[in-house]
């Protein structure tokens, strides 16, 4: 497998960032309604085909019944809530298998071939929300049922008809998901860049709260606190005035590098603006004194030497529940910000510790 193909294969699910993207723009409700309509219309397919058969076989009844019940359940889910990642993954796998199975049991080759094209629906959904591995699974199911359908067409009609049908089915089932996948990846790149500070590569302030909220969901079981550290570089304007803005930019990049080097890999770091930085991390302790001292030592080793006023705040993780988690995180940031100003009024190059909500 080539490096480029390996990179494609290892790309993660897009479900979380797409969900965050839609939530930030208050589009989750409309997206749920659209997906509910798509799922609800799918219920009608087996329900309309079954009565049209004079004597449907037991296999047709079972396959049609399972497909109808499953799509009805998916419709109810979309109408009532946004699914979790696991629910979405399981739903699309079962949906692909239902479509494939329903195609295989159709009484005529023409209907079986027509049913195959519905794989484009699950493929398009996977391409937008999930990983290439799941997309490949859907494509494999689509190709298998397409082959089965066109072999029947070749027997019932002729090879030319079967070959044409095979090309059309696979064009729909493969090209549509691939096109959606390309568009969603382009969107993902845009979203990522819009959330990054272009100078340091850190998150910007707008993306900080959402990143921390996501971090809370995946915090280690042993961690009991969320801590926020606000860092404001002392007399940074003097660096710009004395050495020039290019040196000041390199100094900000060096500070960003120090923050990355001295925080856990899962910490959320952002450039809050100008010469202000924010760090959030979950921890077994609420005491961020050692970390703040480590920052001060690291900054002093930079060239030109930098000092910082640091404020910290922390709160217990079990308090960060409910629909207003983002608001609670913002309150914690305000507490850390107030503590930072206390440290600055005391002369800077030190930390002051506040207590969060």
Task: Pinpoint the alpha helices (H) of the chain.
Answer: 3-9, 15-24, 28-52, 58-80, 85-104, 109-116, 119-129, 132-156, 159-170, 176-194, 205-217, 236-243, 245-261, 289-300, 325-345
**What per-residue confidence (pLDDT) applies to 198?**
87
Give every residue of the chain whose pLDDT is below 70, as ranges. Answer: 1, 46-56, 355-357
Note whether 230 and 314 are within 8 A (CB): no
Count the Cβ atoms, other than its own, within 10 Å of residue 70.
19
**What per-residue confidence (pLDDT) applies to 54?**
57
**What per-residue confidence (pLDDT) applies to 167?**
92
79 is written with which tokens? 């109408």
Give Cα 63 distance to the centre of its chain: 33
User: Helix or strand or coil: residue 307?
Assistant: coil
Domains belonging to the chain, first-starting first, are 3-194 (no CATH), 203-353 (3.30.70.270)
> Comparing C-alpha atoms, which of 241, 211, 237, 239 is closest to residue 226?
211
**What per-residue confidence (pLDDT) applies to 353?**
87
Burial track 247-260 (b if 16+ CB lie within 10 A, e otherwise): ebebbbebbbebbe
Residues with Cβ within 8 Å of residue 330, at least 6 apart in sequence: 209
**What per-residue confidence (pLDDT) applies to 50?**
58
User: Helix or strand or coil: residue 163?
Assistant: helix
| CA quadruple 282, 319, 209, 12: dihedral, nearest 10 | 60
């Amino acid at each position: 497998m080539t490096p480029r193909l390996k990179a494609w294969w290892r790309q993660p699910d897009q479900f979380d960032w797409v969900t965050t993207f839609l939530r930030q723009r208050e589009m989750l409700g409309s997206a749920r309604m659209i997906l509910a309509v798509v799922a609800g219309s799918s219920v009608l397919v087996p329900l309309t085909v079954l009565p049209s058969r004079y004597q449907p076989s037991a296999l047709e009844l079972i396959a049609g019944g399972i497909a109808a019940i499953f799509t009805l359940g998916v419709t109810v889910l979309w109408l009532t809530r946004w699914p979790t990642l696991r629910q979405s993954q399981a739903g699309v796998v079962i949906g692909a298998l239902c479509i494939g199975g329903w195609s295989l049991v159709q009484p005529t080759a023409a209907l079986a071939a027509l049913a195959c094209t519905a794989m484009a629906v699950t493929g398009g959904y996977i391409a937008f929300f999930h990983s290439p591995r799941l997309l490949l699974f859907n494509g494999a199911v689509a190709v298998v049922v397409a082959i089965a359908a066109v072999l029947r067409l070749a027997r019932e009609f002729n090879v030319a008809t079967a070959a044409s049908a095979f090309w059309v089915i696979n064009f729909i089932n493969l090209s549509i998901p691939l096109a959606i996948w390309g568009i969603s990846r382009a969107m993902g790149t845009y979203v990522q860049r819009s959330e990054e500070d272009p100078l340091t590569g850190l998150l910007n302030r707008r993306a900080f709260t959402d990143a921390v909220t996501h971090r809370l969901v995946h915090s280690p079981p042993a961690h009991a606190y969320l801590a926020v550290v606000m860092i404001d570089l002392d007399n940074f304007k003097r660096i710009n005035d004395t050495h020039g803005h290019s040196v000041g930019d390199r100094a900000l990049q060096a500070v960003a590098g120090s923050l990355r080097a001295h925080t856990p890999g899962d910490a959320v770091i952002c450039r809050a603006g100008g010469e202000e930085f924010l760090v959030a991390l979950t921890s077994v302790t609420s005491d961020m004194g050692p970390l703040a001292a480590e920052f001060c030592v690291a900054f002093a080793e930079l060239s030109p030497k930098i000092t910082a006023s640091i404020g910290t705040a922390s709160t217990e993780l079990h308090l960060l529940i409910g629909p207003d988690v983002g608001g609670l995180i913002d309150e914690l940031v305000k507490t850390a910000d107030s503590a930072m100003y206390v440290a600055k009024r005391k002369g800077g190059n030190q930390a002051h510790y506040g207590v969060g909500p």
